[in-house]
Amino acid sequence: MCPHSAHRFVIACAQLNPIVGDITGNLDKIRAARRVAATQGADLLVTSELVVTGYPPEDLVLKPAFQQAVLDAISQFAEETKDGGPAVLLGTVWRAALSAGQKGPEEESPVLPADLHGLYNAALLIDQGRVVAERFKVDLPNYGVFDEKRLFTAGPLPSPLSFHGLRLGVLICEDLWTPDVVECLQENGADILVSLNGSPWDLGKRETRMHHAVARHVESGLPLLYVNQVGGQDELVFDGASFALNLDRSLAMQMESWIETTAISTWERSPQGWHCLSAPLQKTENDLEAIYAAMMIGLRDYVYKNHFPGVILGLSGGIDSALSAAVAVDALGADKVHAVMMPSPYTSQESLEDAKAIAEMLGIRYDIIDIGPAMAAFETMLAPLFEGRAADVTEENIQSRARGLTLMALSNKFGSMLLTTGNKSEMSVGYATLYGDMCGGYSVLKDVYKTTVFALCQWRNQKMPAQTLGALGPQSTVMPERVIAKPPSAELRPDQKDEDSLPAYDRLDDILERLIEKEQSAEDIIAAGHHREEVLRVWRLLELAEYKRRQSPPGVKITRRNLSRDRRYPITNAFKGGA
């Protein structure tokens, strides 16, 4: 398709939700977006990073058969662009030679044979039946959740792509976070910076992205188009929120968060350079809304992309399981959620009433299974070996493991995935039972501190998630206020309260955030106003619980540093830095 004129260019932005490994399905999403773009008169469709393979594909990209499947599928897709529709700039794994990979679109550059060397995180420009240009990611991130240096070869500093009179400065995600790539593109005459991204969301990430985008814009004086993927992939969630910056640093485009969609942006050349004439400008949500959306999208995609029919969870009448159930209903629908109350002799009447009320408010199936017989069976079975020893945490853990065994049996029998309900505060200090309440396939609260759990419950009782998210839960309160107000308790012994074993959650969460997200020393945390004994105790509990966390289910990443992919500490660890 030829541009409307030498001075106007229409770019469609495809904010898609790929599935890792589903090459055909992901290309079908691009095909659908291209059809939408064609009806809107687009000249070019831009997708996100590695959209063909799904992001992050991890070691899957090292399989030669997978690499060949990508090459074959893209070869077929390229043939389809002979139809005169929009050109496509897409992200993919690509095995290519640098000598061929840096040709401009005016040079002959057919689909490359498989025997050329180098595995790259690439952007391909596809038009009129062929791959007309390739650009490779230069800055391969190797921190936090990223380990691209073990997978890909770094590309050289790129030149702009000349496409129908417009010189596109193509970047791939991390290339935007440092000046070198943009400086090279600007010096070589780029008109517009186009960034393909697989940028996972966490609290504060949008501000960080915008900070880097504005910095590159100021340095280069060029407008910027930023396209990000959306959806959940294991522990990561991608918020989309694609945007564009104009020549005057103003926000020219803001796509919706969390939604798979294609947006049209119209660009025009002026004496000062290219600027965006028209594009959607959507509002972004606040932190609590974003956290709730991330939990919903993460759970929904994990369940459906892995083909589970629904979820099952233990509903204790406490705040964590109540919030987990509400998120599950909003994400999947009430008919996909099964709650089970498993009382012991220590379960209060209040908890029984609250669990039933939560289930009724959410409209979910609710069953009661008494674990008393299981406790008695274990007591009888172990009595000869436990003779002469007082009851302690062992008996408490047996209760939790009886519940875990019960839920796993129901999961096995009916196929629903067991949803774990523990939060980040508990997981940090090991206030959870291995093979008990840690059983399960996924956790929506794994990276959510307890104080944030309280705030989210208050928010959800007052508001409904955005309609665009497709929330399926009730447009009303989802739990009794008493669930939020009462002191948290595991109810594994008489009159037990969490604060019998842990500092108050406001103090605990502040200490944990300083230890985990900020990596502060014990002395710094004490200087911030916390008691020395409390800080040292929390530090030690955090270290000791590493072996438990290694065996915990995956969960939605919410904070800048979660307890799995972001924070990798040895289990065997004699360093006493907090002592």
In order of 2, 60, 130, 138, 430, the CA distances from 154 in angstroms are 33, 18, 24, 5, 40
Contact residues for 239 (Cβ-Cβ < 8 A; gap 6+)? 201, 205, 206, 228, 230, 257, 258, 290, 293, 294
* Identity of the amino acid at 121: N
Are the beta carbons of 220 and 249 closer than 8 angstroms?
no
Residue among 137, 305, 336, 548 flagged as catalytic: 137
Q: What would the two tokens of residue 126 be?
A: 């596809």
Are the beta carbons of 86 and 12 closer than 8 angstroms?
yes
Residues facing 200 on adjacent strands: 238
Please name which of 200, 191, 202 lies closest in space to residue 225, comparing C-alpha atoms: 191
Q: What would the two tokens of residue 544 be?
A: 């000791």
Q: What would the two tokens of residue 541 be?
A: 């509990």
Q: Report whether the peptide linkage leading into residue 488 is cis, meaning its omega lies within 30 degrees of zero.
A: no
CB count within 10 Å of CB 523 equals 11
End-to-end CA distance of the chain: 67
Residue among 29, 49, 134, 439 flagged as catalytic: 49
Contact residues for 506 (Cβ-Cβ < 8 A; gap 6+)? 451
Rounded to whole angstroms, how far apart are CA atoms 70 and 62?
12
Query: E strands, 331-446, where?
Result: 337-341, 365-368, 417-420, 442-443
H helices present in 135-200, as ranges: 179-187
Please name which of 346, 298, 296, 341 lies closest in space to residue 464, comparing C-alpha atoms: 296
Q: At what angle do helices 450-462 and 319-332 cross, to 10 degrees?
A: 50
**Long-range Cβ contacts of 97-100 (<8 Å, 24+ apart):** 98/136, 98/155, 98/156, 100/134
Residue among 173, 184, 276, 439 flagged as catalytic: 173
In order of 49, 76, 120, 262, the CA distances from 94 in angstroms are 12, 15, 5, 25
Active site residue 285: no
Q: What would the two tokens of residue 160 be?
A: 């702009």
Rounded to whole angstroms, how far apart are CA atoms 177 and 196?
13
Q: What would the two tokens of residue 111 be?
A: 């689909």
Residue labelled with tokens 């070198």: 180
Measured in residues, the chain has a length of 579
The DSSP element (H or E) to which 36 belongs, if any, is helix 23-39
Rounded to whole angstroms, how far apart are CA atoms 518 and 560?
9
Residue labelled with tokens 């792509």: 161
Cα-to-chain-centroid distance, residue 332: 17
Active site residue 137: yes
Cα-to-chain-centroid distance, residue 405: 29
Please name which of 293, 255, 333, 235 lies closest in space to residue 16, comparing C-alpha atoms: 255
Rounded to whole angstroms, how far apart are CA atoms 170 and 152?
18
Cα-to-chain-centroid distance, residue 482: 31
Active site residues: 49, 137, 173
